[in-house]
Amino acid sequence: MAININKNYKKIQKNYIFTQINLKTEDFLKNNPNIELLKLGIGDVTRPLSKNLVNIMKDALENQTSKNFKGYPPETGYDFLKNAVTNYYKTQNINLTKEDVFISNGAGCDVGNILNLFSNINVVVQDPTYPAYFDSNFLYGNKITLISVDKCNNYKMLPDNLKEDSYLIYLCSPNNPTGATLNKNDLKKWVTFALKTKSIIIFDCAYERFIEDDSPHSIYQIKDAKKCAIEIASFSKTAGFTNLRCSYTIVPKQCKVGNNSLNDMWNRRQCTYFNGVPYFVQKGAEYCLSKNGLKECQKNINYYKTNAKLLKACLISAGFEVLDTNNSPYVWIKCPKDYTSWEFFDLMLNKYHIVGVPGCGFGKCGEGYFRFSGFGKRTDVKKACEEIKKLQH
Ligand code: PLP
């Protein structure tokens, strides 16, 4: 019998958005080797890790003598990090057990891997959004309901007009790419909807530490959310771990589909497929959740947020339509005139030497929009602001 390939690969774009951007910028640099580009595209951290954090990880490696050498880590994480995570939630008045916590090597992986627990489902995703949500569901052959968000609905996906049915619902707050943040009332609406329709929410809070208003950092701040929500968080953007790789996924014991415990199923899945995050990385992550670690991480977060605020202010004063939020490292704008996202990308690259991300990379409804990232260097941000002033329209 022939090997059948997964034909769903034909349903997604051939290249991931950042691959397309890299190809274009490489091409530009080949023809213009002396031009330095201002990189405000990819959401990747640029600030170095703190000395204390590096020393903790160094010690974790050096102290592994033959007596306490570490082999495979526990598949779902060391207890010391799970306890640090549950203590972090306690500061938000949320009680979790360490069995609810699964340490993983990335929110991006878990967003897709979690689909292993379900079969033939209806999925609700906002458009535009983090592309991994719809790409992974296309690959699993799931039915996807896309809900467009724009100025008319404050860039927020809410259940108000959603037909009652059981769905897997992806929420991302603060949102990538828009930066829109769901407040307590918004999340209450979603939890009520999920409980009523026997839906499950995947709450991606990869940017929770960027929130500066009173919006919830966790969906478990909403009563009964543990019965219907899985939360995915990451050290990537909050602690600079995009290279180190460490994240945590919360699957509460109470979270069930019928009589099936999603916690038991996820535990089984992780123990089968995943061999854990390195000890020294988990020691580093534990430090990042300590009092000092949290303070040090917040310094870098504030640096990125200041970048985003500088960009936002200069875009607003240049007359751009900008989503006004202070909870995000990203700035989401409407392209001027009738530029498509890629036309605006080309203009920014070729004339102003700024690299951003075309909004259409986040979904069809992102067409005509553009995302700037605050994760770049301050010097690049300031130079970009000078260039943006020339774009007055
Ligand atoms: N979730 C969102 C919303 C993101 O924007 C990203 C990365 O940009 C991720 C998850 C991926 O995080 P990780 O580095 O932990 O895989």
Indicate the average pLDDT of the chain. Answer: 95
* Residue 235 alpha carbon, nearest atom of ligand 1: 15
Task: Report the pLDDT value the prediction gives residue 393, as an integer from 0 to 100.
Answer: 57
Q: What is the whole-number distance in angstroms between the Cα of residue 242 and the centre of ligand 1?
A: 9
Phi and psi at residue 382, in whole multiples of 5°? -65, -45
Residue 247 near ligand 1, beta carbon < 6 Å: yes
**Average pLDDT of 331-343?**
95
**Using one digit for the tens of pLDDT, what is the confidence trace for 38-80?**
999 988 999 999 999 999 999 999 999 888 999 999 999 999 9
Residue 263 near ligand 1, beta carbon < 6 Å: no
Please tell me what DSSP assigns to residue 2. P
Residue 172 near ligand 1, beta carbon < 6 Å: yes
Nearest Cα neighbor of 317 from 370, 392, 258 is 392
**Using one digit for the tens of pLDDT, what is the confidence trace for 358-378?**
999 999 999 999 999 999 999
**Using one digit for the tens of pLDDT, what is the confidence trace for 266-299?**
999 999 999 999 999 999 999 999 999 999 999 9
Task: Report the pLDDT value the prediction gives residue 255, as an integer from 0 to 100.
Answer: 98
Counting residues of the chain whose pLDDT is more than 90, the rounded percentage is: 93
Task: Report the pLDDT value the prediction gives residue 277, as an integer from 0 to 100.
Answer: 98
Q: What is the whole-number distance in angstroms between the Cα of residue 392 and the centre of ligand 1?
A: 33
Q: What is the whole-number distance in angstroms between the Cα of residue 108 and the centre of ligand 1?
A: 5
Q: Are 246 and 283 in contact (CB under 8 A)?
A: no
Residue 234 near ligand 1, beta carbon < 6 Å: yes
Q: What is the whole-number distance in angstroms between the Cα of residue 82 and the centre of ligand 1?
A: 20
Q: Which of 15-19, 167-171, 199-203 has the lowest mean pLDDT?
A: 15-19
DSSP states of 303-359 as a string?
HHHHHHHHHHHHHHHTT--B---SS-SEEEEEPSTT--HHHHHHHIIIII-EE-EEG
Q: What is the whole-number distance in angstroms between the Cα of residue 337 and the centre of ligand 1?
A: 31
Q: What is the whole-number distance in angstroms between the Cα of residue 259 and the centre of ligand 1?
A: 31
CA distance 218 to 220: 5
CA distance 103 to 266: 12
The residue whose CA is least distant from atom 1 of ligand 1 is 206
Residue 206 near ligand 1, beta carbon < 6 Å: yes
* Residue 44 alpha carbon, nearest atom of ligand 1: 8
Residue 242 near ligand 1, beta carbon < 6 Å: yes
